[in-house]
Amino acid sequence: MAFSSELRFSSMECPPLPCLSGIEALKQVTKRYARKQNRWVKNRFLSRPGPGVPPVYGLEVSDTSKWEESVLEPALEIVQSFIQGQKPAAAPVKMPSNETENKRSYHMCDLCDRIIIGDREWAAHVKSKSHLHQLKKRRLDSDAITTIESQSISPDRDEELEEKGSLGQNDEELKSSI
């Protein structure tokens, strides 16, 4: 037991430095995990609620001294009302929605070969990992094709075009057509 001597300290003396740094690291990781959980709940249940998504209730958890009255009792009341088939007294958390968004709009993502209905769902799809992965994959494929095409033109042909001046002419024609 290498750590047993370090972990033994009375409440009157200060804990050793490695213990304090470990406690601080644990607090930091716990806060990061809590933020990640909140972001997941917000994205999964509040941003794009579907027919199978249960209501989400917010409880005041900042004051730990009042935990029983501000968290435990309201949570038990909400659960009890669901068990009894009644509507809870507390109101579920709602995300602010844009009144101008069209919930019935039809979007076709050719990249992912999907049909998306609704403006909010479309915005979420465009930001999703699967769509961004397909976009990156398409860009890599097009870059590879461009590289292969540029390598297939022989350097002798480029020199001939430069001598005739037609290489520069083509560039000017392309710029003017754009």
Q: How many domains are there within the chain?
A: 3
- State which residues form the domain around 42: 19-51
Spatial CB neighbours of 86, under 8 Å, sequence gap ≥ 6: none
Regarding whether 93 and 59 lie in a shared domain, the answer is yes
87 domain-assigned: yes
38 domain-assigned: yes
Q: Give tens-digit pLDDT for 47-70.
A: 766 677 788 888 888 888 888 888
167 domain-assigned: no
pTM value is 0.42
Q: Give tens-digit pLDDT for 28-44.
A: 999 999 999 988 888 77
* Three-state DSSP string of 44-102: HHHHCCCCCCCCCCCCCCCCHHHHHHHHHHHHHHHHHHHHCCCCCCCCCCCCCCCCCCC
Regarding whether 43 and 60 lie in a shared domain, the answer is no
